[in-house]
Structure formats: C-alpha cells, structure tokens
C-alpha cells in the first residue's frame, strides 16, 4: 500500500473540519466539525503505525478517542447551559465581557427550563 | 495500485464527501446523520489499515456515544426540523483558511512520502494493543482515567447550574 493515500485523506478531512469550525454559527455544529478534525489526527496516527511497524500510534489513537469523549461531554454541558441562559446557541451572540446576570436574570429557584417557562 | 489502495481511496472519498455535507448542510439534524457516515467510513479505513481495535472503539464510542450525545443536544436546544437559514458565517475567509491548512498539510505529506510503499503490519488486535498500553503507557492511561472522571464531574457541575 502507499501510505500517502490515507495521509492525504486525513489532511483533506482536517481542512474540512477547520472550515466547519470557522464557518458555523451553531455551537453544536462547531463541535461536530471539531470531531472531524480529531478523526483526521487519528487517521494520521494509525497510518504512521503502518509505516513504522509498531503499535504506539494506535495506542495514541485510543487515547485521543477517550479525550474526544471527555471533550464532547463537557462541551455539550456548556452548550446546554448557554441555551438555558440565552435560549439560543448562536456563537456570534456570545460577548466575552457580557454580564448575563444583570441583563438577563435567571430565576434560580426553578431549575428546569420548561418549569421556568411555565412560571413566566 | 493494490486492493488496499483502491479500498482506501473509495472510503476516503466517502468520508470526505460526507464530511463536506456535515459542514455545508442547512439541516442541523442531517449534519449529525452525515457525521455518522463520515465516522463509519473512517472506521472502515482503520480496518483496512489493520487497526482492528481502534476501528471497533471508533464505532462504539464515536458512532454509538458521541453522535447520540450530539443528536440529544440538537433536540434539547430545540433545533428546527426543516432547513435553518443563517447557519453559516461569511464563507470565503473560512474556505480560504480551510483550503490553506488542508492543502498545506496534504502538500507536506506528499512531499514527505512521495509514492513510497509500506507493507501492512500484523493486525492491531486487543491483545497486542493491551500489551502495548500496559507495558509502556500505564501512567498516561491512569492520568487519562482521572481526566475522564474530572470531565464527568465537571459536566455535572456545569449542567446543574448555580444554586443560591
């Protein structure tokens, strides 16, 4: 086999992932594009194993998959919290120095989003 | 061109095509379903490259867990069923950077490896990889388990919100 083929596939997928991260407004879609980039890196690691004839790359690919699972868990928790505060997950609307508590007070006594809507 | 090359080219075309659909489609739920196709094609690539365990872990964790989580998140954030406009920012600068990084990496790989050949190694089965992890990479493995626990606790704390 020619190792350049999977390497180029990985490069193409990484480019597509970068494009997706930059172009998408929806936070969940941004996370999907990040997954594409992580997978491209895994493909490079696995292909490197074939050319170097050892198993370190596959071990690292497993580690990266575990890291991706942890990342997606925390990332989605943050996205859902953003949705609870703003009713939207458009990343353009998130100002870094924006004080949520002042402009958009959230009633902490009712923690379920549906209950909060009913309470209004 | 061996059978391995042809299989890799075909699976790579499927993966790249569906990945393009993930980042261009206007339906949020469809992006998640195209992601399943892309990740499945990548898992098949791993199988062709004899990385057996990585391929099955990819199917179990990515397709089984990560995509399901992402679809849950699209539902919990009330994603519309139909096409949603305004999903994308200005395309040109992003396309430039994406093409630049992807093309640059591809050029680097082509320059580095040319049309060189490599023989496929013995399959990376669970036994082989287990020996590798628990002989050389025990400490990173343990650190990773602590990180996973921390991420789990962090996700719970973040999604509980503040209590007064």
pLDDT at A101: 52
pLDDT of residue A91: 82
Beta carbons of A62 and B38 less than 8 Å apart: no
User: Tokens 């699972």 identify what position?
Assistant: A69
Q: Is B94 part of a structural domain of the chain? A: no
What does the pLDDT read at residue B164? 52
Mutate to test the interface with B, among A26, A114, A117 (most CBs of B within 10 A): A26
CA distance A13 to A21: 12
CB contact under 8 A, A67 and B106: no
Mean per-residue pLDDT, A79-106? 72
Digit-coded pLDDT (tens) for B75-129: 888 888 888 888 888 889 999 999 999 999 999 999 998 888 888 888 889 999 9
Distance (Å, rounded) from C-alpha A75 to C-alpha A63? 18
What number is the average pLDDT over the span A41-47?
95
Q: Which residue has the higher pLDDT, B120 or B9?
A: B9
On the question of pLDDT at B1 being above 70, the answer is yes
CB contact under 8 A, A25 and B159: no
Number of compact structural domains in chain A: 1
Q: Is A55 helix (H, G, I), strand (E, B) or coil?
A: coil
* Mean pLDDT across chain A: 83
**Per-residue pLDDT at B51 exceeds 70:** yes
Q: Is residue B12 part of a domain?
A: yes
Say what percent of chain B tops pLDDT 70.
98
Residue B111 lies in a domain: no
Q: What is the span of the domain harbouring residue B64?
A: 3-84
Establish if A86 belongs to a structural domain: yes
Residue A92: band (very low, low, confident or very high) from pLDDT cuts 50, 70, 90? confident
Q: Does the residue B161 lie in any domain?
A: yes
In this prediction, residue A109 has a pLDDT band, given cuts at 50, 70 and 90, of: very low
On the question of pLDDT at A116 being above 70, the answer is no
Percent of chain A with pLDDT over 90: 55
| pLDDT of res. A108 | 47
Among the candidates B66, B84, B102, a domain finishes at B84
Residues in Cβ contact with B94 at an 8 Å cutoff, skipping those fewer than 6 apart: A18, A19, A22, A23
Residue A115 lies in a domain: no
B89 falls within a domain? no
Is the confidence metric ipTM above 0.95 for this complex?
Answer: no
Mean predicted lDDT score pLDDT of chain B = 91
Contact call for residues A32 and B70 (beta carbons, < 8 A): yes
Asked if residue B156 is part of any domain, the answer here is yes
Boundary-marking domain end, from B35, B60, B84: B84
pLDDT at A89: 84
Question: Which pLDDT belongs to residue B88?
Answer: 86
Rounded Cα distance between B35 and B57, Å, is: 16
All residues of chain B having their beta carbon less than 8 Å from the beta carbon of residue A7 are 106, 109, 113
In a domain, B90, yes or no: no
Which B residues in the span 10-49 are in contact with A, Cβ-Cβ below 8 Å? Answer: 12, 15-16, 19-20, 22-23, 28, 31-32, 35, 38-39, 42, 45-46, 49
Q: What CATH number has the domain bearing residue A51?
A: 1.10.287.3510
* Residue B118 resides in a domain: no
pLDDT per residue as tens digits for the range B137-148? 999 999 999 999
Tell the residue number behind the tokens 């170097």, with chain if given: A52
Total domains, chain B: 2
3-state DSSP call for residue A16?
helix
- pLDDT of B46: 94
B-chain CB neighbours of A65 within 8 Å are 54, 57-58, 61-62
Residues of chain B with pLDDT > 90: what percent? 68
The span from the CA of A45 to the CA of B51, in Å, is 10
Write out the residue range of the structural domain in which residue A42 sits: 4-94
Q: What is the CATH number of the domain that holds B12?
A: 1.20.120.1200
Q: Looking at the domain assignment, is residue A84 inside a domain?
A: yes
Task: Tell me if A114 is assigned to some domain.
Answer: no
Residue of B57, B95, B124 with shortest CB distance to A19: B95
Top-confidence residue, B3 or A118: B3
Q: Which of residues 80-139 of B touch A (CB under 8 A)?
A: 84, 86-91, 93-95, 97-103, 105-106, 108-110, 113-121, 124, 128-129, 132-133, 136-137
Has residue A51 been placed in a domain?
A: yes
């Amino acid at each position: 086999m020619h190792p350049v083929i999977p390497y180029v596939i990985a490069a193409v997928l990484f480019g597509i992932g970068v494009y997706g991260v930059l172009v998408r407004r929806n936070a969940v879609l941004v996370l999907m594009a990040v997954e594409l980039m992580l997978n491209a890196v895994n493909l490079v690691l696995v292909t490197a194993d074939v050319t170097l004839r050892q198993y370190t790359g596959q071990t690292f690919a497993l580690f990266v998959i575990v890291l991706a699972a942890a990342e997606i868990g925390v990332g989605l928790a943050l996205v859902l919290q953003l949705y609870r505060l703003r009713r939207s997950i458009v990343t353009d609307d998130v100002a870094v120095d924006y004080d949520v508590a002042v402009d958009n007070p959230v009633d902490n006594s009712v923690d379920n989003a549906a209950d909060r809507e009913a309470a209004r | 061109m061996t059978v391995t090359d042809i299989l890799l080219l075909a699976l790579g075309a499927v993966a790249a095509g569906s990945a393009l659909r993930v980042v261009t489609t206007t339906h949020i739920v469809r992006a998640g379903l195209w992601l399943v196709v892309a990740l499945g094609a990548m898992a098949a690539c791993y199988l062709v490259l004899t990385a057996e365990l990585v391929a099955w872990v990819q199917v179990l964790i990515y397709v089984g867990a990560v995509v399901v989580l992402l679809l849950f998140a699209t539902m919990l954030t009330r994603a519309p069923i139909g096409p949603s406009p305004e999903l994308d920012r200005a395309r040109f600068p992003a396309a430039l950077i994406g093409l630049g990084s992807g093309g640059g990496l591809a050029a680097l790989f082509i320059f580095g490896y040319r049309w060189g050949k490599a023989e496929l190694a013995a399959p990376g089965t669970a036994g082989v990889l287990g020996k590798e992890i628990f002989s050389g990479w025990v400490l990173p493995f343990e650190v990773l388990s602590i990180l996973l626990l921390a991420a789990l606790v962090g996700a719970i704390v973040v999604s509980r919100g503040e209590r007064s």
